[in-house]
A and B are shown apart, each in its own frame.
Chain A
Amino acid sequence: MTLDPAYLDYPRRRHGYDHDLYAWSNIHERQPVRWPDDRSLAVFVCVSLEWFPIVPGGAFVAPGHMQTAYPDYRHYTARDYGNRVGAFRLLEAFEKVGVTASFATNAAVAERYPALVAAVQAGGHEIIAHSTDMNGTIDSSLEEAGEQALIAQALTRLESATGTKPRGWLSIARSQSFRTLDLLEQHGLSYCCDWVNDELPYRFSNGLTNLPLNHELSDRQIVTVQQKSADSWAESIRDAFDWLAREAAEQGSGRILPIHLTPYIMGLPYRIAAVEQLLMDLTRRSETWFASGSAIVDAWEAQQ
């Protein structure tokens, strides 16, 4: 067995990336960014509102999807718990301390649960698009027409259910195809949150903005994948806050702390107190600017 000689060809070995999706830059050498009211740390709370059809499908099976043979009542209902109970716990926690968040919302959630949408809107939060439902996964195995239709449907259904055109997009599992960025841009979106390579917004080559939503700090990664406690999650977020606040002060440039929450994960009775206490503590820090995705992107764009 020997390898194909072409395995040692490197046609894209060149300065910059081996793709043209965006350009390289070093965050520590960019023009400083300033957030409103001299706050140095934008805290971007993003909540995923997910509806999992009891029949899994899509380009790939989304994290959190059904696991047993049909009908998987266990996972269908445990996920839907987030939409009935957990999300409202989070909304109350936000209201208590004045957090403005972005809710990445499956179109199906907006259509099925108008009371939840109304509560999100009444809280002054932003709604961003999060595909159609949890079968609306995207990767390169999708045909172009299928991906185009999926994104169009997610946006029109979300808009008609909420009355607002979303400016932001979060893909399920942050998964895209090579076409997704162009499709999102062509559908009039301003930003997506899928690429985790940075800690400030940046522009893709096609003009769309990336607002990084650190998956390593998400409740899914820390609590569900790494199986840490809610207190361990909160400790990690606090450590991140302290580091970023210090780095912002030293470099004279704003930073972003992304907190990605899932109602069926952090909205449980035994975990919610850790969220509430954390948000309370962050509210007391003079560096904190709780902001929606759009507010952060707008503040950043105004300085470019």
Chain B
Amino acid sequence: MREGSPDPGLYDYHPYTSRPKIVWPGGKTVAVWVAPNLEYYEIDPPPHPLRRAWSRPAPDVVGFSHRDHSNRVSHWRMAEVMSKHGFPGSVSLSVALCQHHPEVVADAAARGWEFFSHGIYNTRYAYDMSEQQERAIIEDSIRTVREATGQTIRGWLAPALTHTPRTLDLIAEYGLDYTCDLYHDDQVQEVRVAKGRLASIPYSLEVNDHYGFFVYNMSGREYAAALVRQFERLASEGERSGTVMCIPLHAYLIGQPHRIGPFEQALRHIAADGRAWIARAGEIVDAWREQTGAGR
């Protein structure tokens, strides 16, 4: 990015209605990917000068134990529902989960899910990191996921969505293919980076389960209905040029007993519709690159 400039210069402007036609494999109009955040939050992390990890002094019992629900109960509940309806995950991973709860990571790997980095912990923020520090967390991420799963990460979602002005340049330099941190579009787009290239794949804050339940205060059924409406619109507009729908999840939210049933209905709807290419993030970026004349 252009550090300090009012326009950070992240990408070129392309109006939605005049773009090259993207057609997803099998003639599908919308690529649907599910992004479970598999996270570890430290109970008493070191303080960061710009952001508090917890709203209460440690231990923030509800904050910590709510998130811990993912790793004891709801990960498997969410994952079973996804597998049952044919949705692989593209995991936003706190890579230290590979050390703390390798059982969760192994379950996701066994289901054929793709992993990308969400930092070391969701309680360690990138703001104000030096270039050397930021390289260290990228290298740690690549090494940790490779050792735990054999996969080489291809993407990045900044830990707790915390960035530095050089994050995008650095991940491109390390050969990562996509970022999930930019919310400017419903299609895959090129990101301006210093060296190499980087795609932005639509993640989504708006239909993120966290926003659904804690920003918009939706019930489980209202959230499921929002997902279906999001899908219907993107599937229809994707006839002009293929769109992307992401469903970003946190097991401790979507896997609660009052929400998982309605969520399963939404997945059933999307899977049965016929217009969805249900894929992993890397596959979506590859299919887009191939059609935009810049295949790998």
A interface, CB within 8 angstroms of B: 1-10, 12-19, 21, 24-28, 60, 139-141, 171, 173-178, 194-199, 214-217, 222, 225-228, 232, 235-237, 239-244, 247, 257
Contact = CB atoms under 8 A, between A and B. Distances in A.
B56 A139 contact: yes
A141 B43 CA distance: 16
B65 A226 contact: no
Contact of B61 (A4, A176, A239): A176
A183 to B, nearest CB: 14
A196 B73 contact: no
Nearest to B137: A8
Contacts of B69: 196-198
B128 A174 contact: no
B258 A178 contact: no
Contact of B43 (A3, A8, A17, A240): A17
Contacts of A239: 220-221, 257-259, 261-262
Nearest to B50: A1
Contact of A3 (B73, B133, B221, B259): B133
Contacts of A27: 72-73
Interface in B53-74: 56-62, 64-69, 71-73
Contact of A13 (B56, B96, B256, B257): B96
Contacts of A140: 57-59
B99 A15 contact: yes
A237 B258 contact: yes
Given A27-B72, A216-B258, A227-B217, A15 B59 contact: no
B260 interface: yes
A194 B73 contact: no
Given A3-B48, A15-B102, A176-B59, A8 B133 contact: yes
A196 B66 contact: yes
Interface string B234-263: 000000000000000000000011111110
Interface in B166-222: 213, 217, 219-221
Nearest to B260: A243
A302 B85 CA distance: 38
Contacts of B57: 139-141, 177
Given A24-B71, A197-B66, A18 B42 contact: yes
16 contacts: A1-B128, A3-B129, A8-B124, A8-B136, A24-B72, A24-B103, A139-B56, A196-B62, A197-B69, A197-B72, A217-B256, A222-B219, A225-B217, A235-B219, A237-B258, A247-B77
B133 A25 contact: no
A236 B73 contact: no
Nearest to B218: A226
Contacts of A178: 58-59
B101 A194 contact: no
B130 interface: yes
A244 B163 CA distance: 40
Contact of B72 (A26, A139, A194, A247): A26
Q: Name the 8 nearest CB pairs between A and B, nearest first.
A: A197-B68, A197-B65, A240-B258, A240-B257, A226-B217, A236-B258, A195-B65, A140-B57
Given A15-B102, A21-B59, A174-B61, 14 more contacts: A3-B48, A9-B46, A13-B96, A25-B72, A174-B62, A194-B62, A195-B65, A196-B65, A198-B72, A217-B256, A222-B219, A227-B217, A228-B219, A236-B219
B62 A214 contact: no
A136 B259 CA distance: 33
A6 B46 contact: yes
B76 interface: yes
Of A12, A173, A242, the most chain B CB neighbours within 10 A belong to A12
Contacts of B130: 2-3
Nearest to B101: A24
Nearest to A222: B219
Nearest to A176: B61
Contacts of B48: 3, 7
Contact of A7 (B46, B256, B258): B46
Contacts of B21: none
B258 A18 contact: no
Contacts of B67: 197
A247 B77 CA distance: 9
A10 B72 contact: no
